[in-house]
Structure 1
Amino acid sequence: MSANSPNTSTLTISPLVTKKKSKDYFQTPPFAPHNTQQNPQHHHRLFSSPNISKTTTTTATNSAHPLSNEDEEIPLTQADKLRLWRHDALMQHHYVTAIYVGDKVLSLTDDPNDAFWLAQVHYSNGNYQIARNLLSGPKFEDSVSCRYLAGLCLIKLEKFDEALDIIGEVNPFKADHSIKNPDGGIKLEASMCYLRGLIYSKQNNFEKAKECYKEAVLVDVKCFEAFSELVSNHLMTPDEEWELLNLLNFDDADNNNELVKLLYTTRLNKYKNVNLFEEAEQRLKDEYSLNENVDILLSRADLLFIQCRFQQCLELCEKIIQKDELNLSVLPNYLSCLHELGGKNKLFLMAHKLAENYPNHCITWLAIGIYYFSIKKTNDARMFFSKASMLNPNFGPAWIGFSHTFAAEGEHEQAISAYATASRLFPGIHLPNLFLGMQYLQMNNLTLAHEYLMSSYFICPTDPLLLNELGVLYYHRAQLSKAESFFQRALGAAKNLDSDAKAWSSIHCNLGHVYRRLNIHDKALNHFQKVLRISRKDVNVHSAIGLLYLKIGKISKAIEVLHIALSIQPNDPIALDLLNKSLESNLHITNKKLLSDNLSLTGVRQSSNIAFESSSSSLPPKAQVLQTPLNKPVKNLKFIGEDKKRDLDLIVEDLKRGEDSSDDDDDDDEIMEIESD
């Protein structure tokens, strides 16, 4: 197969294998002992060729791989020896040597392969423009490897349109992808597809980038760069990820096909098919002894984070950090867990450590932003999140953090704009659409709230926060049965996650309000009591319980509970007005009883032909005092039970709109607590 074929890799043109024959093989250099005096003939070259000489090879391998007569060595040419010198210098990062020798090799041969390796030295040394100039010209245009490296240099120079001209807007090698790579490396065709996707991503054309990345990994499953871009940046929905996995040809990995498939399975989205992930994880531990491999631990941390098991996720992240102190891949989950669990000191320390070691990395600015957001310095946090997103426009946590800063300040329009950008950039995660739905819900735009919440629901139908928000949506739509269903599912999901009960107390509160509206008072009281067992300082819950006692006629209990609410927050308007209603109701009941007693006394006097009006002076002093409200009712005063058309649920609405309001759609909005942060 031609060295310039897109179905080969750069191994084909590597100077480590020369004079290729049917029985050539790639040889790993033997282990170099520290005591070189015991091996005076040991060669210290990092890389060796099996075609150097029969004597050298036999000595270097301690006669472990003697050459047969069929493999008679052909002496290396002058150019071959220079190539090995250049390559060994490159591997040891002796760039001046590699450039000097590589230039002489290219002058001797004028071979595109030698131009590629010399440009590779310049690229490794950061001389992208020199490498690009070296690869320009018609004599190198037919070399696939030269075109690939030239495109890579132009991307580093941010000349994306020129890079696309060299790489091509579409794959020029589209053919049968089943052609196997004979040298065991990554097909150059797949690498060029990946590079094309990288260019489109830099140009913010994410749909085309996604298609190019998919084509790259379909051409050669060993092109992990493309697979990682798809998965890490959430460019596909969970269904699309699993569909792609089923289309991949793992035979490209030869006898590692099963291992690679299991590894790729653990990298997929954890929103669905968790059982398949756990099966793959277990097989990697049992069959391949990868129990403590960092990537396997990272996949488990992703699952725990999605399941909101923040404490367990934090512990696993800390275990990974102990193995690899500055592992950047684990930090987004680690930082988020610290924020969720209030670990401000650890956030501060990690931010400083990252600033010392990675001052220009997006994860550093993310860590600083999360720290400032945790200590309520929202403006400072926004600045650092913005810096992180500028350093890496595809960095999802930075975009979501940036959006949160606007949401925390009630800046709905700016928050919606930022969340919408995150939703467009990362279609594979449900969080941006969830937060968009929450923002529209707070703005009382129920139509758009429903649209975004359902989009999030199709991606991740098991998130308790999402289920709770859907319940709130249907509550505001007065679809109480649907609201009850989603709240119950949210409660079940929260229990299954084994998360902190305090985090989901608002679901009990919301269920209490649903049952109150459905007049199922015992269930409503039960859920409100569960909230109080978690937090007894919630004035809204005490007010809601007082309202329930008012509805069922337990006035004295209502007064008692509302007094507790006012002891927590003395100026709470809801509790104050409900207490006034309770006291008025209690007064009305007392007056009715006294009136009944009064009428009995009046009947006795009427039998003696004594007028009731002239006998008021003979009533007990207490009765005389309490007669006044009955004879002269207070203006606009309405007692419970007097106006049967009036529902007690309107009490809270009266507090906001006045006595004459009869709109019940937004009942008890001030009392109802929503888990929306």
Structure 2
Amino acid sequence: MAPNSPNNSTLTISPLVSNRRARDYFQTPPPIERRRVHSTHRIFSSPNRQNTVNVTNSLNLNATSAIDTAVDALPSKGLPLPLPSSSFDESQLRPEESINLEDVPLTQADKLRLWRHDALLQHHYTTAIYIGDKVLNMTGDPNDAFWLAQVYYAKGDYQMARNLLSGTQFEDSVSCRYLSGLCLVKLERYDEALDIVGEVNPFKKDHSVKNPDGGIKLEASMCYLRGLVYARQNNFERAKESYKEAVLVDVKCFEAFNELVSNSMLTPDEEWDLLAHLDFDDADNNSGLVRLLYTTRLSKYRNVRTFEESEQRLKDEYSLEGNLDLMLAKADLLYVQCRFHDCLDLCRRILEKNELNLQILPNYLSCLYETGGKNELFLAAHKLAENYPNNYITWLAIGIYYFAIGRTNDARLFFSKASILNPSFGPAWIGFAHTFAVEGEHEQAISAYATASRLFPGSHLPNLFLGMQYLQMNNLTLAQEYLLSSMSVCATDPLLLNELGVLYYNRGQLSKSETFLQKALLAAQNLDSGAKAWCSIHCNLGHVYRRLKKYKLAISHFEEVLRMSKTDANIYSSLGLIYLKLGRISKAIEMLHSALWIQPNDPIATDLLDKGLEANMKVSSRKFIEEHEDTDDLRPRLSKHRGAIPETPINKPAKNVRFIGQDKRKDLDLIVEDLRRGEDSSEEDGDDVMEMESD
């Protein structure tokens, strides 16, 4: 395989391993006794030099010469030991002989490369640049240009690295093209970077060719870089395809895999389908480990049991108990299941091990918001601002804190900054949209949520929030479309199920509404959701049963709400209306007085109380007449009785209330009918004001 083949990695041109066969170094040697090679760690010249051994060209990989036995005897740990240069006559070796590599002299360029590379590893960039420049002038080797450019890149001098690699003599080097494109991305010159790496993969599409050196194929790295460029240009569909191609070319290209799954660029089904098509044989004898690790990173909306089995195997078979990445994967599962308290506890344990672990922070910050941890949010944002002042996670944390304390405009600025720094960061887009939604600016909120929905098809949240916005705008058709789309991704979110219950309630499909609300209640119970979720669902079920005339069930759900929160005027008004319908006038008046004590200007509670007091007066009057209908002084007694009725500041005559006949029950039914048909209030009016709770 050619030195510049896209199926190679940069290991083939590394001074540390350039003359060591990758299969001997990266594969575990068979457990047989071998002779030890007496040598120190040596570094040899670039494979492009004629006087050195090329890993893929000069060596016969199928040969069974004595050199195999000698190389296999090298230590399995520490720095790799290279093979001797091509000036060494390996045909003279015998299997039983050991090799003393110290006898093989290093060239002048080899020694300079050693000096340059060690300076780079020790971050002595001035030294590495000084020596690397001399090596490049002496050899003109593209590989020496690559390593000198690596020094400039590590130093942050991207323009110098780009200028160095722009020479025509380096155009045929895949590694130089890759690093040149990476520099252009850092310089935000995306069109130029795309010209370097190509708009599509210029290499052969046969990904079955194995990498002989154990590193990451340069072709895969080029595909990843192409996806990075497209993402910076907000062409996320092309970015997604490039990332997928990168990980299909080489499963070891975790950068591309991570971009796909961590940014929810694929739907849950697409993620699992991609996993099924990955060639884990590229990872050699680590294929089983890599497969399990990748499985734990996939969407937690699907195949939870598979995730749990993979997690357990990694702990048992590979001793990864307590590994931070496994803990991060578990935190993702808890967050998706809305188990915010459990997720928060796990996040805190992770931060105890690594207090500035940026990967856990989106879940950690979201859980703090959900559980009301404003003080902890402030401390987290403050710590991030000190340590990572220019990181998008820092801006997200500050935005969430300001949103939590009600400073919506400030929060919007910080969410916007985070989304600019990283356009692929979903939480920033959703937070930005929330700032419009909370202020009732539906059009702006819908625009931001729609962008998030397009960018992150693997998350159910954007479509859920879109459905909620359209529901508030009473556009039930679009609300149903987005809510059902969200449900196709995640069918267990209590908030989503609650919103579907509200949707069908507003459509008048009360049986469907009851079904979804019962599912929401069950999900909230199973996931140990907070009291807020319970209150909302119980309240909505109470309204559904009220409309279904299942008054006892309605009362039980409303009373459940009152056990958790006694400050909801809407609940007392709803109970007052139900007790009026049941003929329990005194109880209705008590509930309505409670509603007005909480919210004195509530027009519905005021109107219902007027009707209740009027109904109570009529019933009392009827009872008085029945007791004294044979007496002669009925009129003055009735007048005296009316004078005994308690007066309230909100008492006023009811309109169109009729008093008919001797049947007290019928009389009350007529009063309730008047309540329904009255000019100032009705059951329908009550439904409009005592709305279902949509979070």
Bin the TM-score by the shorter chain.
0.7 to 0.9
Deviation at 1:499, TM superposition (A): 2.1
Deviation at 1:578, TM superposition (A): 1.2
Counterpart of 1:3 in structure 2 is 3
What are the within-5 Å matches in structure 2 for residues 221-370 of structure 1?
221-370=251-400
SS of the aligned residue for 2:146 comes to helix
Describe the shift of the 1:105–1:47 C-alpha distance in structure 2 as closer, same or farther (beyond 3 A): farther
Counterpart of 1:442 in structure 2 is 472
- CA distance in structure 2 between the partners assigned to 1:383 and 1:4 by the alignment: 47
- CA distance in structure 2 between the partners assigned to 1:275 and 1:23 by the alignment: 36
Indicate which of 54, 79, 82 corresponds to 1:50.
82
- CA distance in structure 2 between the partners assigned to 1:622 and 1:646 by the alignment: 24
1:636 aligns with 2:656: yes
**Do the aligned residues in 2 keep the contact of 1:231 with 1:268 (CA within 8 Å)?**
yes
Deviation at 1:18, TM superposition (A): 4.0
Counterpart of 2:589 in structure 1 is 559
Describe the shift of the 1:648–1:239 C-alpha distance in structure 2 as closer, same or farther (beyond 3 A): farther
1:13 aligns with 2:13: yes
SS of the aligned residue for 2:459 comes to coil
1:220 aligns with 2:250: yes
- CA distance in structure 1 between the partners assigned to 2:284 and 2:159 by the alignment: 37
Map Cα deviations across residues 126-185 of structure 1 (whole Å, 9 max, x no partner): 121211121123322211111111111111111111111111111111332111111000
**Do the aligned residues in 2 keep the contact of 1:366 with 1:388 (CA within 8 Å)?**
yes
- CA distance in structure 2 between the partners assigned to 1:488 and 1:198 by the alignment: 45
Counterpart of 1:570 in structure 2 is 600
SS of the aligned residue for 1:328 comes to coil
Deviates more, 1:498-507 or 1:359-368: 498-507
Residue type matched to 1:621 in 2?
A: P
- CA distance in structure 1 between the partners assigned to 2:27 and 2:84 by the alignment: 12
- CA distance in structure 2 between the partners assigned to 1:634 and 1:217 by the alignment: 74
Counterpart of 1:623 in structure 2 is 638
**Do the aligned residues in 2 keep the contact of 1:373 with 1:405 (CA within 8 Å)?**
yes
Residue type matched to 2:231 in 1?
A: S
- CA distance in structure 1 between the partners assigned to 2:421 and 2:315 by the alignment: 37
**Do the aligned residues in 2 keep the contact of 1:52 with 1:76 (CA within 8 Å)?**
no
Deviation at 1:486, TM superposition (A): 0.5
Indicate which of 188, 192, 199 corresponds to 2:229.
199
TM-score (norm 1): 0.87
**Do the aligned residues in 1 keep the contact of 2:337 with 2:527 (CA within 8 Å)?**
yes
Deviation at 1:105, TM superposition (A): 1.5
Counterpart of 1:31 in structure 2 is none
For these two proteins, the number of residue pairs brought into alignment is 628
Deviation at 1:555, TM superposition (A): 1.3
Describe the shift of the 1:18–1:399 C-alpha distance in structure 2 as closer, same or farther (beyond 3 A): closer
Deviation at 1:669, TM superposition (A): 2.9
Counterpart of 1:169 in structure 2 is 199
Describe the shift of the 1:336–1:247 C-alpha distance in structure 2 as closer, same or farther (beyond 3 A): same
Describe the shift of the 1:170–1:593 C-alpha distance in structure 2 as closer, same or farther (beyond 3 A): same
1:669 aligns with 2:684: no
Deviation at 1:335, TM superposition (A): 1.1
Counterpart of 2:624 in structure 1 is 594
What are the within-5 Å matches in structure 2 for residues 494-573 of structure 1?
494-573=524-603
TM-score (norm 2): 0.85
Describe the shift of the 1:20–1:572 C-alpha distance in structure 2 as closer, same or farther (beyond 3 A): closer
**Do the aligned residues in 1 keep the contact of 2:190 with 2:233 (CA within 8 Å)?**
yes
Deviation at 1:647, TM superposition (A): 6.8
- CA distance in structure 2 between the partners assigned to 1:379 and 1:327 by the alignment: 28
Deviation at 1:214, TM superposition (A): 0.4
Work out the percentage of aligned pairs sharing the same amino acid.
69
SS of the aligned residue for 1:215 comes to helix
**Do the aligned residues in 2 keep the contact of 1:475 with 1:483 (CA within 8 Å)?**
yes
Deviation at 1:371, TM superposition (A): 1.2
**Do the aligned residues in 2 keep the contact of 1:128 with 1:154 (CA within 8 Å)?**
yes
Residue type matched to 1:668 in 2?
A: D
Deviation at 1:68, TM superposition (A): 2.7
**Do the aligned residues in 2 keep the contact of 1:27 with 1:50 (CA within 8 Å)?**
no
Residue type matched to 2:553 in 1?
A: K
Deviation at 1:301, TM superposition (A): 0.9
Describe the shift of the 1:223–1:449 C-alpha distance in structure 2 as closer, same or farther (beyond 3 A): same
Map Cα deviations across residues 440-465 of structure 1 (whole Å, 9 max, x no partner): 11111111111111111111111000
Residue type matched to 1:552 in 2?
A: L
Counterpart of 1:409 in structure 2 is 439
**Do the aligned residues in 2 keep the contact of 1:147 with 1:166 (CA within 8 Å)?**
yes
Counterpart of 1:606 in structure 2 is none
Deviation at 1:74, TM superposition (A): 3.9
Counterpart of 1:61 in structure 2 is none
**Do the aligned residues in 2 keep the contact of 1:25 with 1:50 (CA within 8 Å)?**
no
Deviation at 1:25, TM superposition (A): 3.7
SS of the aligned residue for 2:359 comes to helix
Residue type matched to 1:11 in 2?
A: L
- 5+ residue gaps, structure 1: 29-40, 54-65, 602-614
- 5+ residue gaps, structure 2: 29-38, 44-77, 86-95, 644-652, 660-664
**Do the aligned residues in 1 keep the contact of 2:611 with 2:675 (CA within 8 Å)?**
no
- CA distance in structure 1 between the partners assigned to 2:318 and 2:592 by the alignment: 64
